[in-house]
Amino acid sequence: MRYYLGVDIGGTEIKLGIVNAEGEIEASSAIATEPEKGPEEAAERVWNWFEGQGPMTNEALSAGVACAGLIDRDKGKIITSPNLEGWEGTPLREIFTSRLSRPAVIENDATAAAYGEFRMGSGRGTLDFTCLTLGTGVGCGIVAGGKLQRGWQGHAGEIGHTIVMIDGPLCSCGSRGCLEALVGAGAIIDRAKRKLESSSGGDLEGIEPLTVKAIAAAASGGEGLAREVLEESGRYLGIGLCNIVHLLNPEVIAIGGGVAGAGDLILGPARKAVGEHVMHERLAGVRIIRAELGNEASLLGAALIASMESVKE
Ligand SMILES: [Zn+2]
């Protein structure tokens, strides 16, 4: 049996898995990232876990390493990452290739998640598939005609920084009115805070800490401010999705990440907005669904990308 190693480096946790040639995760775990200790130390701890898995690791042909941010795949370096401060410019691919003793590829985490969903989750059976990861940031990966799309420099899919409101709220990228600044977790929480300040508070009163999960729990009770917050967020998400539909005409758009946990409370208004704004009803046939693989999507996708690239060689 051939195996591939999958690694997904987040700001607090590194998810690890061994994936077989069928795309099934045979073993998985998570360790602390501790980014301040640097990538070499992280790679060492990653290897310790894989080494403990014995024969499967010994038979693994290559490794895929996913992380958030702008990745220079050609040079194997992180250009900028929101949650791996100090790792910019370090030769991440080289570090992992050397420590794991097999060829490693590095990949943006949302691109990896989209590829994982395309092969083994919500995108199975399609050729034109877009997958959004809605969390603190808004990531996206695109499959068109059955092929993962990367763009000229490898940065295709930055839907989070497409502008949906001129002069809108400030985004982490420095621009204003980006989709991320309207539907990222922070934006949803800010929307709830504004409603709390300007009215009696209602079902949002006393929620501590105010998180998207807590807002969704309050909203599931029925009409109220919490539901308004998610409806408004869902409408902006729908505008973003509508732009994707017009640009790419996907069969399925899957939504994953923490914010997607709000389910139809946010996806319902998003679907409605897509229906209202597409140029022709034919385009409204796109299926907007929840992603299926949860937080293992990126490590699975990274391992599958590694397997795809080792086949090519
Ligand atoms: Zn932005």
Tens of pLDDT, residues 206-251: 888 999 999 999 999 888 999 999 999 999 999 999 999 999 999 9
Give the pLDDT score at 169.
97
pLDDT at 310: 75
Ligand 1 centroid to residue 182 C-alpha, Å: 10
What pLDDT score was predicted for residue 35?
95
- Dist. CA 133 → ligand 1 center (Å): 15
Could you tell me the distance, in angstroms and rounded to a whole number, from the CA of residue 204 to the centre of ligand 1? Answer: 28
pTM score, whole prediction: 0.95
pLDDT at 208: 87
Residue 287: strand pairing partners:
252
pLDDT for position 311: 63
Cα 242 to averaged position of ligand 1 atoms, centre (Å):
18
Report the separation in Å between the CA atom of 10 and the middle of ligand 1, taken as the mean of its atom positions: 20
- What is the H or E stretch that residue 138 is in? strand 138-144
Ligand 1 (ion): residues with CB under 5 Å are 161, 171, 173, 175, 178
The arrangement of strands across the sheet holding 129-134 comes to: 147-149, 138-144, 129-134, 252-256, 287-290
Whether 256 contacts 246, CB under 8 Å:
no
- Express each pLDDT in 28-46 by its tens digit: 999 999 999 999 999 999 9
CATH 2.60.40.3880 fits 124-291, yes or no: no
Centre of ligand 1 to C-alpha 21, Å, is: 37
What's the fold here for domain 3-114+295-312?
A: Nucleotidyltransferase; domain 5 (3.30.420)
Q: Where in the chain is the domain with CATH 3.30.420.40?
A: 3-114+295-312, 124-291
Q: How far away, in angstroms, is 280 Cα from ligand 1 center?
A: 29
Which positions of the chain have pLDDT values less than 70? 311-313
pLDDT at 174: 95
What mean pLDDT, rounded, does the chain reach? 95
List, in sequence order, every residue forming a beta bridge with 149; answer none if it has no partner.
Answer: 142
